[in-house]
Amino acid sequence: MRNSDNPRISSLGYALLSLLARRNRSGYEMSHSTSPPLDSLLWSAGHSQIYPELAKLADAGYVNFAAVAQARRPDKKVYRLSEAGSLALKSWVRQPPKPAPDRRELTVKAHAAWLIDPAEAAKVFRDQAERTRAEILEIGAYHDRLQTQSEETFPPRADEPMFGTYANAIYALDSRRQLVEWCLWVAEQFDTAIEVGRKSA
Amino acid sequence: MRNSDNPRISSLGYALLSLLARRNRSGYEMSHSTSPPLDSLLWSAGHSQIYPELAKLADAGYVNFAAVAQARRPDKKVYRLSEAGSLALKSWVRQPPKPAPDRRELTVKAHAAWLIDPAEAAKVFRDQAERTRAEILEIGAYHDRLQTQSEETFPPRADEPMFGTYANAIYALDSRRQLVEWCLWVAEQFDTAIEVGRKSA
DNA sequence: TAAGTCATGTAAAAAGTTACATGATTCT
DNA sequence: AGAATCATGTAACTTTTTACATGACTTA
């Protein structure tokens, strides 16, 4: 612990502490838990954000690390949650989350879609439905692997470490299924507008 | 149009162009369309981001503005979409949206909730359900006002200007209802964990 | 031989948040 | 008298994105 005047921990910082609360990991491994297709189960971030964030957490004493040499692989730094990190994380979890700002390009496109040809607009939303279906398959595949590989009960009980990942997978799947339905409904509305336009022409 | 080497327009920029495609507005008015409780119908942003963004759009020739003096009110700048802005917006709408990164503190808290007392964890999710219910009421109230004030058909047809706002309100309401259900389910899981803990104690 | 995985970083730019700043009018 | 609304901005900071940088080993 170099700098002990507890600097503020970012949301990403807490996400990393939460990963380390389950088991020790390298930055490389953590960056995979925050990148597609698994980012929806925790927090989205690229490796270029992870490495500096881990350095900050280590400097503040919330995590420690040890360099581990590997045969025919580059060395890695394996991080471990400190007592201070564990306390900070548990205290943060009890606080109400700050509201997630709504910032989806699809919403803006829906707002402006009346400006373009209805057939093209319908395509935008049907294509989105397709991409979202692909995401559902990827998250579903991860969920199935969870189930197969789990040594504990499945689904995990709420006091077991994997419960959060399970619950977040349920949420990610449900919200994407809902998005697919909505996209197809929007596309249908544009189809109807095409028909109406044809009649009045 | 001062600087015509078409600089890249941000997602926020397109959101502002989309507002101006419906009718002319001041920055002040647009900042209300991107702040709670209406931000979920377009794009979330504070006024300190809006004003510089409008200056950039004006400098690039995508919008124009006129200063309008008002009685017993400060002067305002009323912005208007230019032809270049309209073309840029329509061309952007046809492109597939960039995926919205998943970044919600609630997801991180679900991931880490096994670390704390199950009763406290249940409270975190029940409180979130309450706040989300309040959001549903606010968005629902706006939706009802839309319906009452609309001079056209309601619900709007897909080729009418207000269709996007209507569709986005439907999405915002549905996704929040789903979030409420999920939060209550998660809270129940922690309740069950409390009972199990009591039996084995 | 080219692409992919493992592994860690830095730099620069863009986007977003929070705070500072002003001032008249209107509502409680 | 104090708070809210109308109205526009800037400054400092934090967070996120994109690009640059390196290098061994493995698979197609």
What is the spatial distance between Cα B199 and Cα B197, in angstroms, rounded to a whole number?
A: 6
Compare CB distances from A167 to B96, B186, B192 and report the shortest one's residue: B186
Query: What pLDDT shows up at residue A4?
Result: 53
pLDDT greater than 80 at residue B93: yes
Yes or no: say if A62 and A88 are a contact pair by the CB < 8 Å rule: yes
Confidence of residue A41 (pLDDT cuts 50, 70, 90): very high
Residue B189 has, within 13 A of its CA and on its CB side, a CA count of 22
pLDDT band for position B172 (cuts 50, 70, 90): very high
Nucleotide nearest to B25 (CA to C1'): D7
Condensed to tens digits (0 to 9), the pLDDT of residues B131-146 reads 999 999 999 999 999 8
Contact B68, B78 (CB under 8 A): yes
CA of B103: nucleotide with nearest C1':
D16
A112 touches chain B (CB under 8 A): yes
- Identify the residue whose tokens are 């046809």: B94
Contact A102/B43, CB-based, under 8 Å? Answer: yes
Residues A96-134 have pLDDT tens digits of 999 999 999 999 999 999 999 999 999 999 999 999 999
Confidence of residue A195 (pLDDT cuts 50, 70, 90): confident
Residues 49-78 of chain B with CB under 8 A from chain A are none
Higher-pLDDT residue of A5 and A89 is A89
CB A70 within 8 A of CB B96: no
Q: Is the pLDDT of residue B198 over 80?
A: no
Does residue B97 register a pLDDT over 80? Answer: yes
Taken as a whole, chain B contains a residue count of 201
Rounded mean pLDDT of A46-62? Answer: 98
> What pLDDT does A3 receive?
54
Between A140 and A149, residue with greater pLDDT: A140
Give yes or no for residue A5 having a pLDDT over 70. no
Q: What is the pTM of this model?
A: 0.96
Nearest CA-CA distance, residue A98 and chain B, Å: 7
User: From the list A90, A170, A186, which residue is nearest B115 (CB)?
Assistant: A90
pLDDT tens per residue, range B25-66: 999 999 999 999 999 999 999 999 999 999 999 999 999 999
Judged by a CB distance cut-off of 8 A, whether residue A193 touches chain B is: yes
Least Cα separation, residue A63 to chain B (angstroms): 16
pLDDT tens, residue by residue, A10-24:
999 999 999 999 999
pLDDT category at B2 given cuts 50, 70, 90 is: low
